[in-house]
Each structure stands twice: as C-alpha cells, then as structure tokens.
Amino acid sequence: MDTLRALPSVHQLLEEEPATALIAAHGRPLVRFAVQRVLEDERRQATVDTSQARWARVEATIQGLRRPRLRPVVNATGVILHTNLGRAPLAAAAADATARIAGRYSTLEFDPQTGRRGRRHDLVADALRYLTGAPSAAVVNNCAAAVLLMLTALARSKEVIVARGELVEIGGGFRMPEVMRLSGARMVEVGTTNRTRAEDYAAAITSRTAAIMKVHASNFQVVGFTEAVELKPLAAIAAQHHLVLLHDLGSGALLDTTTVGLAAEPGIQESLLSGVDLVAASADKLLGGPQAGLLLGRADLVERVMKHPLARAVRVDKLTIAALAATLDLYLTQSFGEVPIWGMLRASAESIRSRAEAWQRRLADLGVAAEVAAADSTVGGGSLPGERLPTMALAITPQKGSATELLRRLREHDPPVIGRIVDERVLLDPRTVLPGEDDAVVDAVTGGLA
C-alpha cells in the first residue's frame, strides 16, 4: 500500500515537462489516456517506475495507438496474388486515379449532362461490356458478395443445382455452401466429389428449381478418376428447362494465361460465349485491379439483381470505382505491361536472375554472403492452383541463428520484407518485388544479419 501511495496522479504527470512535448505532438486527450493506462499498469503490478521509465512507457503507448497497422510491405515470397498481402498491387495509373478522387467530390452517382442521379456501377459498365462482350455489367464489393447477391435476387426460396465437388471453401475458412445458404436458396447437390455428369443435373430438376450453378475450382485441383460437365452442356440443360445458368468464375481473367506458360484459366469471355446467363468474378486477382466483384451477363438479370435491396449493402465506394476504371482503361488500350501482376507473370527467368544477382553483388560489397538459386513462383490468390513459374531467388543461409529468426527480423524491418523458407534457407524472390524496392531488400537483409 505504501508503494501505491508513491504513485503520482494523472494531473501531476500532465504538468511535468515531458508531458508538454507529448501534448504538443499528440494532443492532450491522447496523452492523458496513455498516462492513465501506464499508471493503471503500475497500480495493478504494485510497482512504481522511475520517471524516465514511466514516460518511455507513455510514449510507447501513444506510438502503439498511432502507428498505422495497414502499411506497405515488400512481397518477396514469389506468390503473385498473395491474399494476406492484399492480392494484386494496383497499376500506377489506378493508384493515381484513386488519389485524385479520394480528397474531392466526384460524379459517383451524378450525371453532369442531365443533372440527375446516376448509378455508380454504370461508370465502369461500358468498359466491362466492351472487354467481355457481356450485354450488361455491374460491380459489387467482392466475388462472394456477387454470388450472394445473384442467388438472393434470383433464387431465394427456390432450388439451385450445384455439383458436390464444387462446394469449395475459400480463404479465411469461409465455405461457399454457407455463403449460398445465406441467400435463402436451397442448394441441391448432385454427383460425387470427383465425378458429375450431365444426367445428374437433369435428374435433379424439379418445379422448384430456379437455377444451375457452376463453381470454378479456383483454389484446388481434383485429379485422377474425375469427370465434370462443361458450361455448354449445362447451358443447353438450363435453356431446355427454362432455368438460369450462373457461374462463380472466381479469378476474372481477361487475358490468356497460356501465353505466360501457365495452364488455361477460364476467362470471362469464354464463360459468356458458352451460354452462361450471369457470371460472378473477382477484380483483384488475374484482372489486377482493386477488390471488387464483377457481375456480367444478361441485361434483364443484371438489372434485377442490382435492384435488390441487398445490392446497396454490398456496393463499392468511389475509390474502388476509380481504381477499377483506370485498370480497365489499361486493358482497353492493351497496355498490359502496366498492370503489375502481368509484368510479374511475364517476367523471364533471365531477367529475374539478373535482379537477384544484383542484390547478391550489393550484399557481397557489404560483407554479406548469399547465393542465387533456382526456385518456383506461384500465382496464388485462388488462381491456377498447382501451377509453377520457374524463377531465381536470393538464398540466404544464416551463419548465426536460424532461418526462422532471420525471417522474423526481415518482417521487423521498415518496410517489412516478407520471404519464405526452403531447406533452412531464406528465399527472396525478385519476381514479386516491385520496382523501386531493391534498396529495402538489401537493407533488410543487411540489418537482419547484423
């Protein structure tokens, strides 16, 4: 008890000299809160810190509250669409467009020609129609929202037929059957995990059936004794029974992935040409834009879906629209090299080797030993599972400590450098390191091994 009596009051501390500087920098309310928290800790632990230690803790508390939690990192993992790191980095044009709109009023839902209210998704609809051939297009906040919205608007209280092997789990433990059930539609599973035939779909159709749904297995592979029904036969079955064919396509590719040595990823155009009535796709995967869900297909269905009350709950903001419009403009002008993920996908092993060797030479000049080793990059982000791109990585074997410890120190660098461990070596893959981030890599490695 005598120890606790020695604790100063909040008022006393706020009158001390260190408080004056902190208040000038951070404002009195925040400093008062930090002082209260530090004193509460001392009271709880029945200790009295020195004045210097106490003020250091006060300042650390303030900095902890003010330090941005969302901050840039250097992605040296070799995973191009790394979901935990924000998936596709925006093109410079998209980032600039977002910055121009962020601090100003805009034509988000206003038509300057008529002076009347407009619809925000119409701002990108023309470009999407041109690029995909879709009769109509709209945008919501992600692909799962697009799926939820179209099922709610078109199949609530009705049946939707889906192959059992397509009831996937997406990132973060979210399972598509659960997302689908939220719509109020009843999922009718057909076939088996590995084999589904056209007659399975046809046999499941009843008077309560509203739609057939195809879900692209974007984040896993089923190999061996397998069979699945392609879109065209499904479109024929849907048309014969006056049903709607829905496609949860996922990655949203507009370009042919075989041109970069990868397997063919189903594209939006291919889906629509196959007879799908409504396609849902992501904008932040192989399209290389901001997080958004694209809805493309029959004009009457898009109109019906976007008039549903849920559409307001999943709408996108002005920043997403600005970034998406600028990204689509790069496709309109075929400026694909300016979309960062396509630059990464197309990068040759030779160009990557050259960059890794440049890092190696710079580190050698600083007395740090590293090797350049062959490795594989991956697409990630629920796209092209199992596909690998040959790459060359900087490989570091710590002389002291473990690879895990070095990886941690790289993460503690400002900005954090995120790598991976293979065979007790830390690998840093230049494929996913953006231009202008080389200094950060070299500095992080040098500091991490110091």
pLDDT for 93-116, tens place per residue?
999 999 999 999 999 999 998 999
Widest Cα–Cα separation across the chain: 87
Q: How many angstroms separate the CA atoms of 399 and 200, rounded?
A: 60
**What does the pLDDT read at residue 300?**
97
Q: CB-based contacts of 162: which residues, under 8 Å, 6+ apart? A: 180, 187, 188, 189, 190, 212, 213, 214, 215
Tokens of residue 254, six digits: 């507009």
* Burial label, 252 (beta-carbon count in 10 A; 0-12, 13-18, 19+): buried
Q: Is the distance from CB of 261 to CB of 389 less than 8 angstroms?
A: yes
End-to-end CA distance of the chain: 46
Question: Rounded to whole angstroms, what are the CA distances from 389 to 18, 374, 398?
Answer: 55, 11, 26
Q: Is the distance from CB of 23 to CB of 59 less than 8 angstroms?
A: no
**What does the pLDDT read at residue 382?**
67
Q: Is the distance from CB of 273 to CB of 306 less than 8 angstroms?
A: no
Q: CB-based contacts of 137: which residues, under 8 Å, 6+ apart? A: 121, 124, 125, 128, 129, 294, 295, 296, 302
Tokens of residue 272, six digits: 């629509």
- Tokens 């995120």: give the residue: 418
Residue 372's SS3 state is: strand
Give one DSSP letter per residue of 393-409, joined into a string.
Answer: EEEE--SSS-HHHHHHH
Q: How many angstroms separate the CA atoms of 261 and 257, rounded?
A: 7
Q: Is the distance from CB of 57 to CB of 49 less than 8 angstroms?
A: yes
The secondary element (H helix, E strand) that includes residue 7 is: none
**What does the pLDDT read at residue 349?**
85
Q: Is the distance from CB of 153 to CB of 304 less than 8 angstroms?
A: yes
Give one DSSP letter per residue of 129-158, joined into a string.
Answer: HHHH--SEEEEES-HHHHHHHHHHHHHTTS
Nearest to 393 by CA among 366, 346, 360, 442: 360
Q: Provide the 10 A C-beta neighbour count for residue 179.
A: 16
Q: How many angstroms separate the CA atoms of 35 and 1, rounded?
A: 20
Q: How many angstroms separate the CA atoms of 290 and 91, rounded?
A: 10
Tokens of residue 120, six digits: 């925000």
**What does the pLDDT read at residue 222?**
58
DSSP for residue 267: B
Question: Rounded to whole angstroms, what are the CA distances from 235 to 244, 246, 253, 307, 364?
Answer: 8, 9, 21, 25, 60
Q: How many angstroms separate the CA atoms of 37 and 24, rounded?
A: 19
Question: pLDDT 10s digit of each residue in the chain, 450 long?
Answer: 556 677 899 999 999 999 999 999 999 999 999 999 999 999 998 888 889 999 999 999 999 999 999 999 999 999 999 999 999 999 999 999 999 999 999 999 999 989 999 899 999 999 999 999 999 999 999 998 999 999 999 999 999 999 988 776 665 556 777 777 889 999 999 988 778 888 998 999 999 999 999 988 754 555 556 688 889 999 999 999 999 999 998 788 899 888 888 888 888 999 999 999 999 999 999 999 999 999 999 999 999 999 999 999 999 999 999 999 999 999 999 999 999 999 999 998 899 999 999 999 999 999 999 999 999 999 987 677 778 899 999 999 998 889 999 999 999 999 999 999 999 999 999 999 999 999 999 999 999 998
Q: CB-based contacts of 115: which residues, under 8 Å, 6+ apart? A: none
* Burial label, 300 (beta-carbon count in 10 A; 0-12, 13-18, 19+): exposed
* Burial label, 422 (beta-carbon count in 10 A; 0-12, 13-18, 19+): middle
**Amino acid making up residue 120:** R
Q: Is the distance from CB of 212 to CB of 247 less than 8 angstroms?
A: no
**What does the pLDDT read at residue 196?**
86
